[in-house]
C-alpha cells in the first residue's frame, strides 16, 4: 500500500498538517490497508504528552533522528511527545 507523510506538531498548539486540531471534525481520511509515515513533534515543549491513535497501531521509526530503544520497537499505540520529534509508520487496517 502507498505511504503518505503527515506532520503533527504538539509544541505549537496541537496542529495536524499545519492546521489547528479540531475534535469536532475529521482532519484526514485513510483507506483500509494504507500505511502512512507521520512526524509527531513536541519540539519546544518539554511537557510530557502521550500521543495515541484510536483504532490502529504504529511502529516508531525514529526518535529525534535515532532508532528507538529496543523496548520501543514493534507495534505500539502510544508514543511520548516531550520536546521530541518521532517518525512513525501508521497501519490503517480498520
**Domain positions in the chain:** 3-21+31-87
The class (CATH top level) of 3-21+31-87 is mainly beta
CA distance 93 to 13: 29
CA distance 59 to 88: 5
* Residue range 32-86, pLDDT digits in tens: 999 999 888 877 666 677 888 888 899 999 988 999 889 888 999 887 777 678 8
Across 13-23, average pLDDT: 73
CA distance 28 to 46: 27
| pLDDT value at 5 more than 60 | yes
Contact status, residue 54 vs residue 36, Cβ threshold 8 Å: no
Q: What is the pLDDT of residue 46?
A: 65
DSSP H stretches of helix in 24-66? none
Amino acid at each position: 500500500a502507498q505511504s503518505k507523510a503527515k506532520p503533527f506538531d504538539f509544541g505549537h498548539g496541537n496542529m495536524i498538517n499545519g492546521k489547528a486540531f479540531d475534535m469536532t471534525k475529521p482532519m484526514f481520511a485513510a483507506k483500509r490497508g494504507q500505511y502512512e509515515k507521520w512526524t509527531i513533534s513536541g519540539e519546544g515543549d518539554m511537557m510530557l504528552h502521550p500521543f495515541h491513535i484510536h483504532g490502529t497501531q504504529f511502529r516508531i521509526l525514529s526518535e529525534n533522528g535515532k532508532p528507538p530503544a529496543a523496548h520501543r520497537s514493534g507495534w505500539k499505540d502510544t508514543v511520548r511527545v516531550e520536546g521530541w520529534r518521532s517518525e512513525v509508520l501508521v497501519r490503517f487496517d480498520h
